Each structure stands twice: as structure tokens, then as C-alpha cells.
């Protein structure tokens, strides 16, 4: 389940009212979750998961009968989400990192919710990652990816370039604890993707533009 909300049924994938506001559906994400659990009992699927949920919303899913097998959420050295990750581990929920390299698109550096933090530059240009990379003969991108793997998460970098894909696949080496700590220090609570309020409330007008 991609978002903890439903949109009104209709011809448009992201329906909006006459004021340009998102039109919410009548069902809730808990209704959807219960239905997904029923599908599991029929043997059609082996596991169900979510993305972009907050803690309270995940707790609601657990209360509805079953914890997600996986939660796909934005995690990278600029947004480490350490406490939230530990909570997932305690619940037996696997965390999968999307945007594990932050976001290389300059569009995200000017979005209002970043409060100017994105102007610090691209994650893969961080000197700390380059320094650690030289130690292991790896690129800064590989260091950022293996940091996620070393912390018990899976990472899903996006690329269509063969050499980048090959490099990403070689990002499963072991980092020393002191190097993990250095990477942790890069945390700035910097979120590149859709903020919580964008999909939780019908006040947001541009969801389909992100």
C-alpha cells in the first residue's frame, strides 16, 4: 500500500475538486489492510507491506490484525530515521530504503518543506563519504548504500545506466563501526520526497506533480 489514504473513485487517478483539492475516498487504509490480509488467506500472496506510513498508522495496521512484512520509506544519510528504524526492528518489520542516495534532482532543492536544507549539496558529493570510500576503494554512492545494508535494511537505488547498476550491486561490503558513526553524523532530517501532510490531508494541491 503506497500511501495511508484513499482517493475518490473516478476517471482521474488523482481526483481533485473544483478548488484543486484532493478528493478523498470513502474507505480508509485500515479497510484496505484488512482486505489485503484476506487475500493472503487465499494463498494469492505471501506477504504484504506499506510505504510512507508514520508510526501511529503502522500501529493501526498491527491493531487491525497483522504487522506489515516490510515498510518502504525514505532513509539515507541525510535522513537516518534511527529511532523509527529501531522501532520497526522491535516489531519485526523490515525497513526498505527508497531514495537511498537522497535525491540528485535539483528540483527538490527548492521545495518549500526542505527549508533551505537541501542547499547543502548532493549526498554523493559529501566529503565524509568520499573519505570513507577511499578507505574501502569504493565510491561515495557505494558507501551510502552499504551503510543502509550494514544497518539491517535493504536499499533500492534507481538507475538505468549499466555501470551504475553494476556499482550498486557491489555495495554490500562491511563498514567498521567508526565509519558507520561518521555517516550517521550527516543526518540533517532532510526529506526530499513528499512530506507527511501532502498525502494525509486534502489540503495539498500538487500531489500528482511530484
What pTM value is reported for the model? 0.85
* Residue 24 domain-assigned (yes or no): no
Confidence (pLDDT) at 209: 32
Predicted pLDDT of residue 135? 98
Q: Which of 43, 83, 34 is nearest to 61 (CA)?
A: 34
Q: 40 and 27 in contact (C-beta within 8 Å)?
A: no
Reading phi first (left if > 0) and then psi (alpha if -120 to 50, else beta), residue 61 is in alpha
For residue 187, the model assigns a pLDDT of 94
Q: Which domain holds residue 204?
A: 29-209
User: How is residue 103 written as a grid cell?
Assistant: 535525491
| Position 120 in a domain | yes
Indicate whether 171 belongs to any domain: yes
21 lies in some domain: no
CATH code, domain with 52 = 3.20.20.100
Mean pLDDT is lowest, of 5-19, 80-94, 142-156, for: 5-19
Indicate the burial class of 168 (C-beta count within 10 angstroms; 0-12, 13-18, 19 or more).
buried
- Check if the beta carbon of residue 21 is closer than 8 Å to that of residue 28: no
Least confident of 22-26, 47-51, 83-87: 22-26
Instruction: Report pLDDT digits (tens) over 149-197.
Output: 999 999 999 899 999 999 999 999 999 999 999 999 999 888 877 554 4
| pLDDT tens digits, one per residue of 60-75 | 999 999 999 999 999 9
Question: Using one digit for the tens of pLDDT, what is the confidence trace for 99-121?
Answer: 999 876 665 555 544 555 556 67
The SS3 call for residue 10 is: coil
Give the number of domains in the chain: 1
Q: What's residue 145's pLDDT?
A: 98
Amino acid at each position: 500500500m503506497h500511501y495511508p489514504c484513499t482517493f475518490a473513485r473516478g476517471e482521474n487517478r488523482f481526483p481533485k475538486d473544483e478548488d484543486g483539492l484532493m478528493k478523498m475516498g470513502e474507505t480508509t487504509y485500515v479497510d484496505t489492510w484488512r482486505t489485503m490480509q484476506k487475500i493472503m488467506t487465499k494463498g494469492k500472496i505471501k506477504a504484504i507491506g506499506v510505504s510512507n506510513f508514520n508510526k501511529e498508522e503502522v500501529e493501526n495496521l498491527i491493531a487491525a490484525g497483522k504487522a506489515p512484512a516490510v515498510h518502504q520509506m525514505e532513509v539515507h544519510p541525510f535522513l537516518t530515521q534511527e529511532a523509527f528504524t529501531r522501532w520497526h526492528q522491535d516489531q519485526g518489520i523490515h525497513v526498505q530504503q527508497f531514495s537511498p542516495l537522497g535525491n540528485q534532482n535539483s528540483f527538490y532543492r527548492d521545495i518549500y518543506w526542505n527549508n533551505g536544507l537541501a542547499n547543502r549539496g548532493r549526498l554523493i558529493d559529501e566529503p565524509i563519504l568520499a573519505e570513507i570510500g577511499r578507505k574501502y576503494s569504493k565510491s561515495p554512492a557505494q558507501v551510502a548504500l552499504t551503510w543502509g545494508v550494514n544497518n539491517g535494511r535493504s536499499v533500492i537505488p534507481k538507475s538505468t545506466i549499466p555501470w551504475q547498476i553494476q556499482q550498486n550491486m557491489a555495495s554490500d561490503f562491511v563498514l567498521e563501526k567508526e565509519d558507520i558513526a561518521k555517516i550517521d553524523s550527516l543526518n540533517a532530517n532532510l526529506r526530499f520526497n513528499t512530506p507527511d501532510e501532502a498525502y494525509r490531508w486534502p489540503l495539498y494541491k500538487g500531489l500528482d506533480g511530484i
